[in-house]
Amino acid sequence: MTVSETDLVRRLEAAIGPRYRIESRVASSPDRFLFLGNDQLLRRQVSLRVSLSAPGQAQSWFMLEAEALAQLDHPAIRHVYDFGTVGELAWRIGNWIEGEGLDEAVRRGPRPIPSVHILARALLGALEHAHTRGIIVRRILPSSMIVGPSGRGTLTDLRHSSYALRHIPADELGKGIAFMSPEVRDGATGDPASDVYTAGALLYFAITGREPAAAPEELVPPTRLRPAAPQVFDRLLARAMQRDPWARYITAWEMYEDFTSEAGEIASQATFIGPPRPVSEESVQHWELRLRRALGDDYELLNEIGRGGFGRVYRARDLHLERVVALKILEPVLTQEPAAVERFRREAQLAARLRHPNVVDIYDIGGRYGLLWYTMELVEGPNLAQLVEREGPLPRERVIRMLREGLSALAHAHGSGLVHRDIKPENMLLEPSGALKITDFGLAIALRGFGRLGGKISQSGTPQFASPEQLLGEKVDPRADLYSLAAVASFTLLGRPPFTGRNVQEILAKQTTDVLPDIEAERPDIGPELAQVLSRALKADPEARYATAYEFFHALASADQLQLENEQPFWTEMANRLLRRGMPDHPET
């Protein structure tokens, strides 16, 4: 904190008295500051908005804005509890809102569609409320719309409202025009239809991730920018954002009704609502109980199947479809960050597009009470790590089958632009029929983050199957998956990973010298051709490996073929011997 800021905090403390404790600074511009504070009397967090300007226009502006906020009482508009001035210092105390600015959220990508629905309902309800109190909001910047993990928005700023209009400094008037109606840009006080335009602009930003064109005539329909956007937004925003106010919805309520006539009023039950504070140790221990309650009428928890680095997998019954599924519940500490949840959601959307007999189908993703889960096809068999532990190294034919099926699955995924990034024995499940099912496509790493050497990736505890480029935190492409698959194949042949070490650095050192374990010496039954195929797939340099799953697959097929041919003389000899022995008229018998 700079000296002047320390000074500011001291003056503020003196002004507001002992009731409020200043906890931290959240944001600042040259003359405005936002602090997180604590109301010692009512024991709650509060927001402390501070303006530093000589009494005059700027301070009057700040005061009028606080007054405007104080006129309103709506859950989606910031509440003001108190206000005061001392000299150049003016402050207002309001409710603390957990979340982030819509601008910040959109920086990670357009908002999840169910969240935009929730935002639309809250925003239009809040505007209607303001209009019944005679206040036109006139402009809503994405940065002043705080969104929580469910998407629910809270309007925190009425700086440009009709109430404060006479004190808005001239140089402020032209800021954020994409979020003002054309008549407001021209200086009009505006009317409810002006706010209809602004609401349209804000929803446009949330659903497309882009500011709307300033000229209403140039507006690109949302579905053209984001094909998955519901059609209702094209229609809604085309009408809300007309240049002529009379061509728009006349009130926010009319727009709300049109939206809900199609999208309804029922928010998705499966919206992830994060806990406001990090989960305590104790609640982590009790999460199974929490989970049962969160799953409600949708799933019954049956029993735990296994635990991994970022969650637990349960057998669960889907109570609607009355079938048993696998349900993976994510470790709550990993889902505290909105960015992690969104990365996870995006990966799940991609993974859910895969349709392949050797890939575990994703069914659904959901969350409640701050817990996040997804459901998928239940595979009854063991994973490859368990199988090898139980039965030791696997027969050659079994390994070949695993490789063929794994490569077929990877070819399909890579063709859809998806890289698994965490191929390892625990993610390779075997059905009772022996067929391979790969799980966790892209999902494990989505949550763990794209960790670097010694970073998050080593938390998985299984860097043995990761490619060197992955361990180094470099860009990963499909060849990393092929490397990992070959490492898994060596594991199933030898009963141990090809490269081991006490830490990531040691493993990396072995990988990069390209000194492979002599698989053929230990497993002469696999033949030199297969050993060669694996050693090429395990080259440290991605350029030296097979470039695609197809290339790997063909090399494998011809190695397998060769092996059969090599075996031919042996079988012919055996058959001949048997034949000779079996001949009744043979001279030897």
Ligand X SMILES: Nc1ncnc2c1ncn2[C@@H]1O[C@H](COP(=O)(O)OP(=O)(O)OP(=O)(O)O)[C@@H](O)[C@H]1O
Q: Is the CB of 328 or the CB of 343 nearer to ligand X?
A: 328
Should residue 378 be labelled a site residue for ligand X when binding is judged by CB under 6 A?
yes
Q: Which does 379 bind (CB under 5 to 8 A by kind): ligand X, Mg ion, none?
A: ligand X
Q: Which does 378 bind (CB under 5 to 8 A by kind): Mg ion, ligand X, none?
A: ligand X
Instruction: Write the burial class of residue 10 (CB in 10 Å: 0-12 exposed, 13-18 middle, 19+ buried).
Output: exposed
Segment interacting with Mg ion, rule: CB under 5 A, options 303-311, 511-519, 546-554, 574-582 = 303-311
Q: How crowded is the C-beta side of 450, counted as CA atoms within 13 Å?
A: 14
Q: Is the CB of 440 or the CB of 529 nearer to Mg ion?
A: 440
Should residue 460 be labelled a site residue for ligand X when binding is judged by CB under 6 A?
yes
* In the complex, least distance from residue 309 CB atom to Mg ion, rounded to whole angstroms: 8
Should residue 311 be labelled a site residue for ligand X when binding is judged by CB under 6 A?
yes
Comparing C-alpha atoms, which of 430, 431, 406 is closest to residue 420? 406
Beta-carbon contacts of residue 564 (< 8 Å; ≥ 6 apart): none
Should residue 191 be labelled a site residue for Mg ion when binding is judged by CB under 5 A?
no
Should residue 440 be labelled a site residue for Mg ion when binding is judged by CB under 5 A?
yes
Segment interacting with ligand X, rule: CB under 6 A, options 310-318, 341-349, 449-457, 572-580 = 310-318
Q: Is the CB of 10 or the CB of 353 nearer to ligand X?
A: 353
Should residue 439 be labelled a site residue for ligand X when binding is judged by CB under 6 A?
yes
* In the complex, least distance from residue 305 CB atom to ligand X, rounded to whole angstroms: 5
Q: Is the CB of 94 or the CB of 425 nearer to Mg ion?
A: 425
**Residue length, the chain?**
589
CB 443, CB 308: distance < 8 Å = no
| Rounded-to-integer distance, Cα 13 and Cα 480, Å | 56
Instruction: Write the burial class of residue 502 (CB in 10 Å: 0-12 exposed, 13-18 middle, 19+ buried).
Output: exposed
| Rounded-to-integer distance, Cα 9 and Cα 7, Å | 5
DSSP bridge pairs for 364:
375
* In the complex, least distance from residue 347 CB atom to ligand X, rounded to whole angstroms: 13
Which amino acid, one-letter code, is at 92?
Answer: R
| Rounded-to-integer distance, Cα 165 and Cα 176, Å | 15
Binding-site member from 156, 271, 408, 427 for Mg ion (CB under 5 A): 427
Should residue 70 be labelled a site residue for ligand X when binding is judged by CB under 6 A?
no
Rg of the chain over Cα atoms, rounded to whole angstroms, equals 31
DSSP bridge pairs for 359:
438
Q: Is the CB of 243 or the CB of 307 nearer to ligand X?
A: 307
Q: How many residues bind Mg ion (CB under 5 A)?
A: 3
The alpha carbon torsion through 537, 542, 545, 548 (nearest 10 deg) reads 100
DSSP state of 292: H
Binding mask 277-306 for ligand X (x = CB under 6 A): ----------------------------xx
* In the complex, least distance from residue 333 CB atom to ligand X, rounded to whole angstroms: 14
Beta-carbon contacts of residue 128 (< 8 Å; ≥ 6 apart): 251, 252, 253, 256
Binding-site member from 115, 358, 427, 458 for ligand X (CB under 6 A): 427
Give the tokens for residue 525: 């039954």
Q: Which does 318 bind (CB under 5 to 8 A by kind): Mg ion, ligand X, none?
A: none
Q: Is the CB of 251 or the CB of 462 nearer to Mg ion?
A: 462
Q: How many residues bind ligand X (CB under 6 A)?
A: 23
Burial 18-38 (b: 16+ CB within 10 A, else e): eebebeebeeeeeebbbbebb
Should residue 469 be labelled a site residue for Mg ion when binding is judged by CB under 5 A?
no
Binding-site member from 51, 383, 458, 484 for ligand X (CB under 6 A): 383
Give the tokens for residue 216: 């209403």
Residues that bind Mg ion (CB under 5 A): 308, 427, 440
Residues that bind ligand X (CB under 6 A): 305-311, 313, 326, 328, 360, 376-379, 383, 426-427, 429, 439-440, 444, 460
